[in-house]
């Protein structure tokens, strides 16, 4: 099992590395999945020392977990994502939370902002899916103020969720030429190479506590967009079987419920 097997994750970009070819992330119900990982947004916003009045860009914001957390602290937030559907959901959730956020459709590899635009640039398990890592890193740096800070989070390859992505990669179609695994963003060497030696790292876990392995598998297989796309690509049965095998491996509970931890790497510079 190698990192290269996680290529199916690049989703909307998986047929052409340089193009947004479909709204893969808009399929399923990412909003429901995002509710289980809000702690990542809280860690990032805290680690980036987001304060009232700061300008904050949340790259690949999805349904807005980190954007809303930053705006609730009084920051002037822009949330950017290339999924029109998720931006529409984020806009609704921002309004429900009673915060004022600018929501934009756009590509993390080509950010529609001037140099030095933001005090804080953050991404919670989002930037990792843009296929060209060097371009993405350069864009994060370019739009960040020189006295500002970039804080990003990515699943680690050795953690449970890293393993899940790799297992499912083994049953998906071969990667396009030039593919770099999203999980490389969860390794210190790769992030240092992209963002420089001054990066500080922390490891955190998302704790998942679910009524049962089977109900969780049903939930994820029908709601998590990359799983929905993979089932359409290679068939439900093999995806379900592979996913259930992985759930059994990572389950730490012995009382019929499901408990597991998903490790992620936070990089701050």
| 61 contributes a contact to ligand SAM by CB under 6 A | yes
| 239 contributes a contact to ligand SAM by CB under 6 A | no
Q: Looking up tokens 């999203």, which residue turns up?
A: 182
- In the bound state with ligand SAM, the residue whose beta carbon lies nearer, of 40 and 137, is 40
Map the footprint of ligand SAM across residues 114-153, applying CB under 6 A.
124-126, 129-130
Tell me the CB-side half-sphere exposure of residue 210, using CA atoms within 13 A.
Answer: 22
Q: How far is the CB of 154 from ligand SAM (least distance, A)?
A: 10
Q: Token pair of 78, please?
A: 């822009």
Report the SS3 class of residue 191: helix
**Long-range pairs for 35-38 at CB < 8 Å and ≥24 separation?**
36/206, 36/208, 37/65, 37/124, 37/125, 37/206, 37/262, 38/65, 38/69
Q: How far is the CB of 53 from ligand SAM (least distance, A)?
A: 23
137 neighbors 166 (Cβ within 8 angstroms): no
Q: How far is the CB of 218 from ligand SAM (least distance, A)?
A: 19
**Around Cβ 142, how many Cβ atoms within 10 Å?**
14
The whole-angstrom separation of Cα 148 and Cα 202 is 19
117 neighbors 147 (Cβ within 8 angstroms): no
Angle at 112 between CA 110 and CA 114, to 5 degrees: 110
Q: How far is the CB of 266 from ligand SAM (least distance, A)?
A: 13
Q: How far is the CB of 20 from ligand SAM (least distance, A)?
A: 7
| 264 contributes a contact to ligand SAM by CB under 6 A | no
| 6 contributes a contact to ligand SAM by CB under 6 A | no
Of 5, 83, 181, 269, the one binding ligand SAM (CB under 6 A) is: 83
Of 14, 81, 120, 216, the one binding ligand SAM (CB under 6 A) is: 81
Build a one-symbol-per-residue string for 30-49: x at contacts with ligand SAM by CB under 6 A, - elsewhere: ----x--x--xx--------
Of 8, 82, 103, 208, the one binding ligand SAM (CB under 6 A) is: 82
For residues 91-103, one letter each, b for 16 or more C-beta atoms within 10 angstroms of the residue's C-beta and e for the rest, the string is bebbeeeebebeb
Of 65, 78, 187, 242, the one binding ligand SAM (CB under 6 A) is: 65
Compute CA 128 distance to the chain's CA centroid, rounded to the nearest angstrom.
6
| 86 contributes a contact to ligand SAM by CB under 6 A | yes
Q: Which residue ranges make up the site for ligand SAM (CB under 6 A)?
A: 25, 34, 37, 40-41, 60-62, 65-66, 81-83, 86, 107-109, 124-126, 129-130
């Amino acid at each position: 099992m190698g990192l290269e097997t996680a290529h199916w994750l690049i989703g909307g970009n998986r047929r052409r590395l340089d193009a947004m070819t479909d709204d893969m992330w808009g399929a399923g119900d990412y909003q429901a999945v995002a509710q289980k990982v809000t702690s990542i947004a809280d860690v990032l916003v805290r680690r980036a020392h987001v304060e009232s009045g700061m300008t904050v860009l949340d790259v690949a914001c999805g349904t807005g977990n980190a954007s809303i957390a930053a705006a609730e602290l009084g920051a002037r937030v822009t949330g950017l994502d290339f999924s029109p559907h998720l931006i529409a959901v984020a806009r609704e959730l921002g309004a429900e939370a009673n915060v004022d956020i600018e929501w934009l459709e756009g590509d993390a590899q080509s950010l529609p902002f001037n140099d030095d635009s933001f005090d804080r640039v953050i991404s919670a398990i989002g930037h990792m899916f843009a296929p060209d890592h060097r371009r993405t890193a350069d864009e994060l740096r370019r739009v960040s103020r020189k006295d500002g800070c970039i804080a990003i989070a990515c699943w680690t390859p050795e953690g449970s969720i890293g393993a899940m992505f790799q297992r499912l990669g083994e049953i998906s179609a071969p990667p396009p030429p030039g593919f770099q695994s999203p999980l490389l963003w969860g390794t210190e060497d790769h992030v240092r190479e992209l963002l420089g030696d001054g990066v500080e790292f922390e490891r955190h876990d998302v704790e998942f506590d679910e009524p049962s392995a089977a109900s969780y598998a049903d939930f994820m297989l029908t709601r998590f967009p990359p799983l929905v796309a993979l089932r359409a690509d290679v068939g439900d049965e093999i995806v379900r079987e592979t996913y259930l095998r992985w759930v059994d491996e990572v389950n730490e509970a012995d009382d019929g419920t499901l408990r597991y931890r998903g490790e992620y790497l936070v990089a701050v510079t």
